[in-house]
Chain A
Amino acid sequence: MEICRKGDELEISDLDPFLAELLRQIPASAEAEESSVRQRLFSLPADASEKEICAEWKLYVEPELRSLFQTATETVTADLEQLNGKEKSVRNCTLRIPTQHADAWLNALNQARLAIAAKCNFTDGELCDHYRSPIGSRRDLSLFQVNFYGFLQEFILREVSGDGPVERQPD
């Protein structure tokens, strides 16, 4: 896999089918159906004893946050359509993310990472183990997903903050 910026796009090329599938799973991974995930993505804005603040938050702010998160995952879902072509099966592919979608990607990747971590309840030791093979158990795969999405976040952050390497010229 190669990842670089080309003009107004972030390009992830030579993407093998396994990593392409992990990218396709971002929107589904970000879904907040389980209560542990809902609790993390929609955490309280104050101590639970601040009943009035928490009640107002549920009523007015939470729907706005829900809408914000959904918009981000929808943008990512639309970009991921590039991976759903006829050549989906075994060939390496390329994903191009417009830089104006960078915030949506950061948000959706974060939703997915937090949701997976909330479901799996990883230990600190597991979270520090960046080299664990994804092959082994569903838990290992989930940990790999969290780390892979984190790697993408780091890349996008570096590019949008202007700390990235010198841009590669278009071919």
Chain B
Amino acid sequence: MSLIVSSTKVCDARASSSTVEDPALEKETRDQDELDVPWQVVVHNDPINLMSYVTMVFQRVFGYPRERAERHMLEVHHKGRSILWSGMRERAELYVQQLHGYLLLATIERM
């Protein structure tokens, strides 16, 4: 989903040894620093989704063993939210997409 295009600078080969960069040719769609910031996948409480269903989804999406999945499910149930995973944005977005496919309330947040 996210489009990662690294900062590209094109230099004029005919330019003098001082190599003046042409700002018009500089393309930068997203700051690399922003992409490197860790993100977290958060699941929010929902009174309708069954506890057993939520546990199954955590096992399927994250490959967590049942005990860990249940721990997260109970944290969602009692505290209203649980951080399921943290890391690079692209992967976090993919996890959130999968969780929404199971109709869970999930968001990505900057850490």
Contact = CB atoms under 8 A, between A and B. Distances in A.
A and B found bound together: yes
Interface in A152-166: 153-154, 157-158, 161
B1 A61 contact: yes
Nearest to A127: B47
A45 interface: yes
Given A106-B53, A157-B53, A157-B56, A113 B48 contact: yes
A64 B49 CA distance: 21
Contacts of B9: none
B37 interface: no
Contacts of B56: 157, 161
A161 to B, nearest CB: 6
Interface residues of B, number: 22
B11 interface: no
B53 to A, nearest CB: 6
B97 A45 contact: yes
Contacts, number: 64
A114 interface: yes
Contact of A110 (B47, B49, B93, B97): B49
Contacts of A53: 93, 108
Interface in A52-101: 53, 56-57, 60-61, 64-65, 68
B2 interface: yes
A107 interface: yes
Interface string B95-108: 01100111101111
Given A57-B1, A65-B100, A161-B56, A47 B50 contact: no
Contacts of A158: 52
B31 interface: no
Interface of B: 1-2, 46-50, 52-53, 56, 93, 96-97, 100-103, 105-109
Interface of A: 41-47, 50, 53, 56-57, 60-61, 64-65, 68, 106-107, 110-111, 113-114, 117, 122, 124, 127, 146, 150, 153-154, 157-158, 161
Give 3 closest A-B pairs by Cβ, nearest first: A117-B48, A110-B103, A45-B96
